Amino acid sequence: MNRCIVCSGKLVPAHQYIGLLKCEMCGFITADLCISDEELRDLYTRDYFFGEEYSDYLSDKTIIQKNFRNSLRLLYLFAKENNRKMLFEVGCAYGLFLEEASTGFLKVAGIDISEDAIQYATSVLGLTAYCEDYLSHEIAEKADVICMWDTIEHLKHPDLYLKKAYTHLNEGGLIAITTGDIGSLNARIFGKRWRQIHPPTHLHYFSRRTITALLEKCGFEIVYFRHKGFYMSARTIASILLLIRSAHPKVFKLLEKIKLLKLNLYINMFDLMYVVAKKRQQIE
């Protein structure tokens, strides 16, 4: 990537972040690497959800869907009942959000490049979900709402995805996005050790300024912005810290024995953005 996807400015090494590039004009930050579609697809096998990024994605289904219900409650404030005919999720993984959204929308569908995830979404949950790249997906029906939950940072070409979402949406349609905020106080304090910085799975790092600018460039206007908290099981937190990122199985077993891992914790580090944007009538 030679030019910034937000403002077309020049990308130079981000000195505070090894391996990342920063736009000289708008400050957008992206990974300094090239990755093929095949390499990207190989990142999101079953192992990604069961042992690499997550300890056991589906074992946390209850708490994951609790977080999705909170996201939906907010989304319903903007997507009134007459605008809930069709919801489409880009990066739907195992379909847990779509299952929740099916109670509030007439139709739901999603897309993901993970074969294992789509197999579960279609065969186990009975959802309409496609194992494809969204950019090459043939749109069969316009949507009223498109969601990208913790997805945009994983995409090779997020600008092209947003432009396609613009054409995919009905007039006045909404796009809802969550992603890390590299401009947040927490991200600035931790710097290169911020938990969201881990290419090649996270390729792009937005701030409020750059996500707003990119959405506006692609035909949207922000109608809602906040830093979002989430529930997480103590077992998942301990698995990430003690098993995936370090080797302390004895400590993990001790916490398990004294039943501390059964707790669910609410966390808000004010570094996760929840953005809702509305499709403008014309791209300026």
**Within-domain flag for 176:** no
Task: Spell out, as residue ranges, where the chain has pLDDT lower than 50.
Answer: none
Which pLDDT value is given to residue 81?
A: 86
**Within-domain flag for 236:** yes
**Within-domain flag for 158:** no
Q: Which residues are bridge partners to 179 per DSSP?
A: 273
**Within-domain flag for 251:** yes
**Within-domain flag for 124:** no
In angstroms, the CA 228 to CA 238 distance is: 22
Which pLDDT value is given to residue 141?
A: 96
Which pLDDT value is given to residue 268?
A: 96
In angstroms, the CA 20 to CA 121 distance is: 34
3-state secondary structure the chain: CCECCCCCCEEEECCCCCCEEEECCCCCEEECCCCCHHHHHHHCCHHHHHHHCCCCHHHHHHHHHHHHHHHHHHHHHHCCHHHCCEEEEECCCCCHHHHHHCCCCCEEEEEECCHHHHHHHHHCCCCCEEECCHHHCCCCCCEEEEEEECCHHHCCCHHHHHHHHHHHEEEEEEEEEEEECCCCHHHHHHHHHCCCCCCCCCCEECCHHHHHHHHHHCCEEEEEEEECCEEEEHHHHHHHHHHHCCCCHHHHHHHHHCCHHHCEEEECCCCEEEEEEEECCCCC
Which pLDDT value is given to residue 239?
A: 67
Residues 6 or more apart in contact with residue 240 via CB below 8 angstroms: 55
Query: What is the number of structural domains in the chain?
Result: 1
Whether this prediction's pTM lies above 0.85 is answered by: yes
**Within-domain flag for 120:** no
**Within-domain flag for 249:** yes
Q: Which residues are bridge partners to 267 per DSSP?
A: 230
Range of the domain at 238: 230-267
**Within-domain flag for 239:** yes
φ/ψ of 138, rounded to 5, equals -85, 120
